[in-house]
């Protein structure tokens, strides 16, 4: 999660919402990303999407079934869907998102038994540090 926080700090420096993500396979980071929505003018350029795409490129495959995602903020519904479709094994989440979360707070896409695949979710990893960076960002913008 510390490496995901490093990615979130990169987003913060670029005045992006500070969310970071890394994908880990066999103890090694194979994909990383931070929010790039403003920079790329792309509403899909979330940290998770970038990290998943990078990991798929590294492994040269579309499924990440032996991988784990570490993300500083609970993924939105779009990213939660991408985590499911990539067949990620486990997702470690820093802070929950009670307004737009797609993995347990508002929706529970990642563990929804109606879908053909569910992801194991572990919440509240370095939650205070992940939350503090987001609070600092939004207080600065106000």
- Residue positions annotated with a catalytic role: 48
Please, what is the end-to-end C-alpha distance for the chain in angstroms?
Answer: 28
CB contact at 8 A, 72 and 4: yes
Distance, CA of 70 to CA of 74 (rounded, Å): 10
How buried is 2 (Cβ within 10 angstroms: 0-12 exposed, 13-18 middle, 19+ buried)?
exposed
């Amino acid at each position: 999660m510390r490496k995901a926080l490093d990615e979130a700090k990169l987003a913060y420096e670029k005045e992006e919402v500070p969310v970071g993500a890394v994908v880990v396979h066999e103890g090694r980071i194979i994909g990383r990303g931070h929010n790039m929505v403003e920079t790329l003018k792309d509403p899909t350029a979330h940290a998770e999407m970038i990290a998943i795409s990078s990991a798929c490129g590294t492994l040269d495959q579309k499924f990440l079934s032996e991988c784990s995602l570490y993300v500083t903020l609970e993924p939105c519904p779009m990213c939660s869907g991408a985590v499911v479709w990539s067949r990620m094994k486990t997702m470690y989440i820093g802070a929950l998102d009670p307004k737009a979360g797609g993995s347990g707070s508002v929706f529970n896409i990642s563990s929804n038994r109606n879908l053909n695949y569910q992801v194991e979710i572990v919440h509240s990893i370095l939650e205070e540090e992940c939350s503090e960076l987001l609070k600092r960002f939004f207080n600065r913008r106000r």
